[in-house]
Amino acid sequence: MILQTNIRAMKKTLVLITAAIGLSLAAQPALAAGDKPKPRSGGFSFEGPFGTFDQGQLQRGYKVYREVCAACHGMELMYFRTLAERGGPFYESGQASPAENRFVRALAAEAQIADIDTETGEPIMRDGIPADRFPSPYANATAAAAANGGAAPPDLSVMAKARSGGADYIYSLLTGYAEIPEGLQIRPGQYYNAYMPGDLTPFMPDGAKVPPGGFIAMPSVLFEGQVTYDDGTEATVDQVAKDVSAFIAWASDPRQVQRKQAGMGVMIFLFLFAGLTYVSYRRIWKGVAH
Amino acid sequence: MSDHESTYVPKTGIEKWLDTRLPIVRFGADYMSLPTPRNLNYWYTFGAILTLCLVIQIATGVILAMHYVPSTEMAFASVERIMRDVNGGDIIRYTHANGASMFFIAVYLHMLRGLYYGSYKAPREMIWIVGCLIFFLLIATAFLGYVLPWGQMSYWGAEVITNLVGAIPVIGEPILIWLRGGPSIDNATLNRFFSLHYLLPFVIAGCVVLHLWALHTSGQNNPVGILIPKDRLKKDTVPFHPYYTVKDGFAIILFLMLFSVFVFFMPNALGHADNSIPANPLVTPAAIVPEWYLLPFYAILRAIPDKFGGVVAMFGSIGVLFILPWLDTSKVRSMRYRPTMRTFFIIFVIVGLILGWCGAQLPDAPVIGNFKTFILIDGDLNSYLWLTRFATLYYFAFFLVIMPLVGLRETPRPIPATISEPVLSGAAAMTAAAPAAAEKKG
Amino acid sequence: MGRKPEPGEICLKPLNAFMPQTAGPHRVRNGAYEEQDVTEPVVTENGEGGDATRRDFIHIAAGAAAVGAGAMMVWPLINSMNPAADTLALASIEFDMTKVQEGQQVVITWQGKPVFVRYRTPAEIESARADDRAGLPDSQTDAERVKDGHSQYLVVIASCTHLGCIPTFGTGDYGGWFCPCHGSHYDTSGRIRKGPAPTNLVVPEYDFVSDTRIKIG
């Protein structure tokens, strides 16, 4: 009977703990009908506990960001030297340090950074160095909003963390500019996107089926042949969207792959440690009624 | 079980010298040899797990504080700097953030254990009360800490919760301005929240010392719920070390495995994406939700239509815990032997989970399917608003109505005379020899 | 906990330690559990014996793993206090030498410290080389302190080796620098000649990455 009680108690424990975790994981805000469509999968290589970034994809993604997105979107938390961190797009195994990586030096030098002349104190523009941040297209948030019809293009540094769905969401959004549904009243300066969260009920005629998605202030920016990849990959809209999403996912959390790998080691160690401790525990309690 | 005689004998010269001046070795040795009931199950390991959580949070927190900048301009960027540039910073930050969630998982299970086995009942009322104080401080610390990264949820969560202070009649507004250091949440608020967030964990640590002191004074409870008289010490107890140090150690490792899964593989699963958007006082997020562990209280807050009433209910839901020892009228401690109460307890746990779920939902959203029924007072019956209200009703009824009444009316199962009895005799354990009355003096 | 328990002391041993498979009242070693009543079937099987339990390999292994786990948890906290990536990125800087006029010096900041970059006149170079053999407190030739082919440039950290003040340019008895704090005199090669400073002005690690550009650090 003790054994039965124990098993019952253990089951109860497990049920309770699972419920607690289930609750905590399920604590997402409720969705009204048609609020947030499930994003399409971009088939990214870095998903899952064993995922890693494809360095080629990150390089292509950086090129897309620099040539297409950086015209409006800043990435103010990114530094050029971060591109050469281990696991990043331009990491080279022989490099002395990320700041001395030759690709990063060249890429940084392409950028013009606002600075102050060391002798006269006048504002100047100078070539970038690896220690510089990515330059922003606008001087400040007000200028950004003013130049974009009142809606400032958000900074992309941590965009994959700032949207549920992460890279899949960004990919879906970029390729989600679909046919405008019949009867949808579009507000000026807004564009319909099937993956943008929103509730279109007020903008459809009464009784009509409300399409998924919402309004976004950014028009569709990707088109065929927009970017020429250095590695020869064909730059279809789909490919470009995937590459830049992967790059943004990397930029949002550059150390995620190293962390997952460390985690594997930690789990293995803990598993062995648990085994040792369990045997020790059983040995100590052996023969002691409890 | 009362204080046991100190059995430590200093051996070396240094030990003897120290023993007459500052008997910390004696203190440690006595702690290790403390007679502990032999029948404690794994529910009793959460105390040690919680101590580890506190140590981890303080250690990672002190390190984070070396890099974090508490200004509205730089807070968000300083956290991202920790994630990218500081050596191991990403792991330390995620340990701290997920550590808070793990802390609450452990504290809720620890409290449920206390409820189930009647560990709040005489003579352990002070352990329970100090524990409730720790719980309250923990919630305060977590709330303050969540504001620090200065994301959208940080800002707007702080906005909503501090606004509650303004709901207090008469004195609410001046207190609100005093609390915020200004008319709105700004640099002054962030700076003081950082200072308080650094302070409170040490207050918690002090309360933990009191909590353990009270525990050692009245003695550790056990699943059978009976006190262990002095003459049964040898048979019914084992020394804390190595029996429970190693058992606690094993439980800690399992806990660390769960912790590591979150930190290394899904560090943002328990958080909210909106908190990676820098705070913007001019844009409100689509849904303002606190972290999952505060959802039940958030649900109770929103269940009451009156703003101040909601505040009273929310704080009352924690306050009612403090008077629990006097609400329960049963002479029997452990719910193992209180089948009626146990049923209500299980419902209470489920209601708690429901409250948590409701806290994350929009009040108007339908609970079942997509249909409307009828409007009851101010909302459709098939809405989370009303589900929350029914759940809140049960929550308070459990403490204020069910506990007193069931204690008086139920017939508990016979309690074993000693701890060893149910362990040893198996199916023959329940002799009729020990009705509840015999144990009354214990 | 390896010593023998005193009589009457609560014993750590399992109830049936040293128990052979015989019935009848037992006198357990060391007097523990003297009330043991064997009519109570306390245990189901023999427990581990005696003191050997305490030193079992498994306990040592588990303890060692615990120490390892502790170290694994503490190390990242300590390492996080080491310079972060942004600090390390500024570990070296480059400087355009055309900014220095002959006979002048420029003060730049490197790793938070001031650095003198001095363009020496031929006379200054001469006087520096002439004193190579003189009885210097910290003996060093001028050639050791400059780069081949660029001996007109002297790069030194602008911190007096006595207690760290910044020496003034061109003053002092040897034409190099003079530290006003406690009166140390440096020559045109930055070597200490007179005064309390123990060593010459420190030449940081630097290289000419081009004819007119140096990289310090």
In sequence order, what DSSP letters do the residues of B202-247 get, joined into one string? Answer: HHHHHHHHHHHHHHHHH----TT-----GGGHHHHEEEHHHHHHHH
Residue C159 amino acid letter: S
Cα distance between residue B367 and residue B354, in whole Å = 11
Q: Determine, for residues B59 and C35 on separate chains, whether the beta-carbon distance falls below 8 Å.
A: no
Collapsing DSSP to helix, strand or coil, C27 comes out as coil
> A-chain residues within 8 Å CB-CB of B295?
27
Closest by CA position to A270, among listed C106, B123, B22, C73: C73
According to the model, what pLDDT value does residue A12 have?
Answer: 62
Closest by CA position to B84, among listed C145, C72, C87, C51: C87
Which residue in the block uniquely carries the two structure tokens 């392409």?
A110
For the purposes of burial, counting CB atoms within 10 Å of the CB of A214, is it exposed (0-12), middle (13-18) or buried (19 or more)?
buried
According to the model, what pLDDT value does residue C30 have?
Answer: 41
With residue C184 as reference, give the H or E element that holds it: strand C184-187
| Level-2 CATH architecture, domain C89-216 | 3-layer Sandwich (2.102)
Cα distance between residue A134 and residue A111, in whole Å = 8
- Which ranges in chain C are annotated with CATH 2.102.10.10? 89-216
Q: Determine, for residues A162 and B276 on separate chains, whether the beta-carbon distance falls below 8 Å.
A: yes
Q: Determine, for residues A290 and B39 on separate chains, whether the beta-carbon distance falls below 8 Å.
A: yes
Write the pLDDT tens digit of every residue in C104-141.
999 998 988 999 999 999 999 999 998 888 788 888 99
Give the contacts of B49 (CB within 8 A, at least 6 positions apart): B106, B110, B248, B251, B252, B255
Write the pLDDT tens digit of every residue in C150-181.
999 999 999 999 999 999 998 888 889 999 99
Cα distance between residue A149 and residue C149, in whole Å = 59
Establish how many alpha carbons lie within 13 A of residue C49's alpha carbon, considering only the half-sphere containing its beta carbon: 3
Query: Cβ distance C191 to C72 under 8 Å?
Result: no
Establish how many alpha carbons lie within 13 A of residue B178's alpha carbon, considering only the half-sphere containing its beta carbon: 7
In CATH, what class is B42-288? mainly alpha
According to the model, what pLDDT value does residue C53 have?
Answer: 55
Read off the pLDDT band of C41 (50, 70, 90): very low
| Model confidence at C11: pLDDT above 70 | no
Per-residue pLDDT in tens (0 to 9) along chain B, 442 residues: 445 678 899 999 999 999 999 999 999 999 999 999 999 999 999 999 999 999 999 999 999 999 999 999 999 999 999 999 999 999 999 999 999 999 999 999 999 999 999 999 999 999 999 999 999 999 999 999 999 999 999 999 999 999 998 889 999 999 999 999 999 999 999 999 999 999 999 999 999 999 999 999 999 999 999 999 888 888 899 999 999 999 999 999 999 999 999 999 999 999 999 999 999 999 999 889 999 999 999 999 999 999 999 999 999 999 999 999 999 999 999 999 999 999 999 999 999 999 999 999 988 888 888 788 888 888 888 999 999 999 999 999 999 999 999 999 999 999 998 888 765 554 444 444 444 444 444 4
Residues of C with CB under 8 A from a CB of A: 14-17, 42-43, 45-48, 53, 56, 58-59, 61-62, 65-66, 68-69, 72, 85-86, 88-92
Identify which of B59, B81, B246 has the shortest CB distance to residue C77.
Answer: B59
Read off the pLDDT band of A174 (50, 70, 90): very high
**High-pLDDT (> 90) share of chain C, %:** 50
Residue of chain C minimizing CA distance to A133:
C86
Residue B56 amino acid letter: I
> A-chain residues within 8 Å CB-CB of C91?
97, 99
According to the model, what pLDDT value does residue C36 have?
Answer: 40
C113 phi/psi in degrees, rounded to 5:
-110, 150
Residues of B with CB under 8 A from a CB of C: 4, 7, 9, 32-33, 35, 56, 59-60, 63, 66-67, 81, 84-89, 91-92, 233-235, 237-239, 241-242, 246, 249, 256, 420, 424
Token pair of C74, please? 């503490």
| Model confidence at A85: pLDDT above 50 | yes
Higher-pLDDT residue of A28, A241: A241
- In whole numbers, what is the pLDDT of chain C averaged over residues? 79
Strand order in the sheet with C206-210: C93-96, C213-216, C206-210
Token pair of B316, please? 């009352």
Token pair of B412, please? 């508990």
> A-chain residues within 8 Å CB-CB of B286?
29, 197
Cα distance between residue A265 and residue B171, in whole Å = 55
- Cα of C41 to nearest chain B Cα, Å: 7
Query: Cβ distance C175 to C163 under 8 Å?
Result: no
Interface with A, mutate which of B235, B265, B288 (most A CBs under 10 A): B265
Vertex B105 angle, CA A282 and B78, to 5°: 120
According to the model, what pLDDT value does residue C133 have?
Answer: 82
Collapsing DSSP to helix, strand or coil, B441 comes out as coil
Please report the ipTM that was assigned to this predicted complex.
0.90
Residue A271: other Cβ atoms inside 10 A: 12
- Cα of A161 to nearest chain B Cα, Å: 6
According to the model, what pLDDT value does residue C26 have?
Answer: 41
Write the pLDDT tens digit of every residue in B275-303.
999 999 999 998 899 999 999 999 999 99
pTM as predicted: 0.87
Residue A10 amino acid letter: M
| Model confidence at A118: pLDDT above 80 | no
Token pair of B197, please? 């967030």
Collapsing DSSP to helix, strand or coil, C175 comes out as strand
Collapsing DSSP to helix, strand or coil, C210 comes out as strand
Residue A120 amino acid letter: T
Closest by CA position to C116, among listed C212, C197, C189, C184: C189
Read off the pLDDT band of A199 (50, 70, 90): confident
| Model confidence at A110: pLDDT above 90 | yes
Query: Taken in order A159, A160, A165, A168, is the CA torsion positive or negative?
Result: positive
Query: Cβ distance A62 to A247 under 8 Å?
Result: yes
Read off the pLDDT band of C8 (50, 70, 90): very low
Buried/exposed B43-58: b ≥16 CB within 10 Å, e otherwise = bbbbbbbbbbbbebbb
Q: Determine, for residues B246 and A255 on separate chains, whether the beta-carbon distance falls below 8 Å.
A: no
Vertex A211 angle, CA B359 and A34, to 5°: 10
Which residue in the block uniquely carries the two structure tokens 């109830």?
C15
Q: Active-site positions of C?
A: 182
Q: Determine, for residues C15 and A82 on separate chains, whether the beta-carbon distance falls below 8 Å.
A: no
Give the contacts of B414 (CB within 8 A, at least 6 positions apart): B337, B430, B431, B432, B433, B434, B435, B436
Identify which of C10, C35, C82 has the shortest CB distance to residue B239.
Answer: C10
Write the pLDDT tens digit of every residue in A1-38.
445 555 565 666 566 666 656 655 554 444 344 457 89
According to the model, what pLDDT value does residue C31 have?
Answer: 37
A-to-C residue pairs, Cβ atoms closer than 8 angstroms: 73
Q: Determine, for residues C1 and B242 on separate chains, whether the beta-carbon distance falls below 8 Å.
A: yes
Query: Cβ distance B144 to B195 under 8 Å?
Result: no
Question: Chains with ≥3 Cβ pairs under 8 A against A?
Answer: B, C
For the purposes of burial, counting CB atoms within 10 Å of the CB of C41, is it exposed (0-12), middle (13-18) or buried (19 or more)?
exposed
Find residues 65-94 of chain B whose CB sits inside 8 Å of chain A: 77, 80-81, 83-84, 90-91, 94
Which residue in the block uniquely carries the two structure tokens 């510089």?
A132
Closest by CA position to B293, among listed B418, B106, B438, B421: B106
Closest by CA position to A290, among listed A12, A2, A10: A2
Query: In whole angstroms, how large is the CA radius of gyration of chain B?
Result: 24
Query: Cβ distance A26 to B294 under 8 Å?
Result: no
Q: Give the domain ranges of chain B.
A: 1-33, 42-288, 300-421
The mean pLDDT of A151-171, rounded to a whole number, is: 96
Residue C171: other Cβ atoms inside 10 A: 15
Q: Does B315 touch chain A (CB under 8 A)?
A: no
Query: Cβ distance A36 to A211 under 8 Å?
Result: no
Closest by CA position to A290, among listed B357, B133, B238: B238
Cα distance between residue A270 and residue A276, in whole Å = 10
According to the model, what pLDDT value does residue A272 have?
Answer: 97
Give the contacts of A106 (CB within 8 A, at least 6 positions apart): none
- Cα of C9 to nearest chain B Cα, Å: 7
Closest by CA position to B410, among listed B352, B345, B350, B349: B345
Tell me the C-alpha to C-alpha distance, in Å, between residue A19 and each of A61, B261, B396. Answer: 40, 17, 22
Query: Cβ distance C203 to C191 under 8 Å?
Result: no
Cα distance between residue B396 and residue B309, in whole Å = 14
